[in-house]
């Protein structure tokens, strides 16, 4: 769960703790405790020490008899709720610090159009889709800019084949000023499509380093688009102007 969403939810639950429904206990208190724990686990992880402390809170008397006054039970329940709110405060502090220090990416580091395409996915920490949408977007831009719709047999060029064709030595869209550089950029584009695009577009990856992987894919895709804009900005502008004129006509 994103820290800002968790903060909003916990602040609301802290306010709810003061309501008469929760203070009286019964199903309202049970529901409230379940909601608080759910947010804590989603925001901090089930192994966080605050979750453990929350689970150990008591909302009842350790010892009671039939003669124990009712207000003693109320006091114990209210004490448990106050302690739970103290844990909420600690979680809020932790989450606010995380918001200051845990920006996942710097938008200035990436191609602006690519960033705009995946920005919401990054903000939602949907790292699997960040990787797949980056692969899709980069291939789409290369095809749109270079205008390469088909190979020798008229088949649609995709993935590795598209990159090999667009970045071939005889192409106006080749990258690099020397043979070795051109080969390197061509290999980079083909590798991006073959190693990353095929995997990320055709199956959902579940991995512990999903964020680092997705940011790596985003960085490599951005690098290809940035180099194309650097070397072929005029060609891109001409292609985009032509497409706009065609639509207006």
**Token pair of 168 as six digits:** 């071939």
Of 103, 90, 89, 57, give the one whose Cα is nearest residue 76: 57
Q: ∠ at Cα 72 (69, 73), nearest 5°? A: 100
| Spans of the chain, pLDDT less than 50 | none
CA pair distance 61, 53, nearest whole angstrom: 18
**Per-residue model confidence as pLDDT tens digits over 10-31:** 999 999 999 999 999 889 999 9
- pLDDT tens figures, 180-193: 999 999 999 999 98
- Cα–Cα distance measured from residue 2 to residue 104, given in angstroms and rounded to the nearest whole number: 11
The domain ranges of the chain are: 3-101, 107-248
């Amino acid at each position: 769960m994103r820290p800002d969403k968790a903060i909003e939810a916990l602040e609301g639950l802290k306010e709810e703790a003061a309501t008469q429904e929760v203070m009286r206990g019964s199903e309202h208190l049970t529901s409230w405790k379940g909601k608080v724990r759910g947010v804590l686990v989603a925001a901090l992880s089930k192994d966080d020490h605050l979750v453990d402390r929350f689970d150990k809170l008591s909302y009842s008397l350790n010892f009671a008899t039939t003669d124990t006054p009712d207000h003693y039970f109320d006091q114990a329940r209210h004490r448990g709720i106050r302690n739970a709110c103290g844990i909420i405060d600690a979680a809020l502090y932790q989450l606010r610090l995380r918001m200051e220090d845990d920006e996942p990416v710097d938008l200035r580091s990436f191609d602006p159009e690519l960033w705009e395409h995946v920005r919401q996915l990054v903000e939602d920490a949907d790292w699997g889709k960040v990787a797949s949408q980056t692969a899709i977007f980069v291939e789409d831009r290369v095809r749109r800019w270079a205008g390469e719709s088909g190979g020798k047999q008229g088949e649609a060029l995709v993935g590795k084949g598209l990159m090999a064709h667009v970045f071939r030595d005889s192409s106006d869209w080749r990258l690099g000023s020397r043979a070795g550089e051109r080969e390197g950029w061509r290999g980079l584009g083909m590798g991006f499509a073959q190693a990353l695009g095929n995997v990320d577009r055709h199956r959902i990856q579940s991995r512990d380093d999903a964020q680092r992987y997705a940011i790596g894919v985003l960085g490599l895709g951005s690098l290809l688009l940035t180099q194309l804009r650097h070397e072929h900005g005029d060609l891109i502008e001409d292609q985009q102007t032509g497409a706009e004129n065609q639509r207006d006509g």
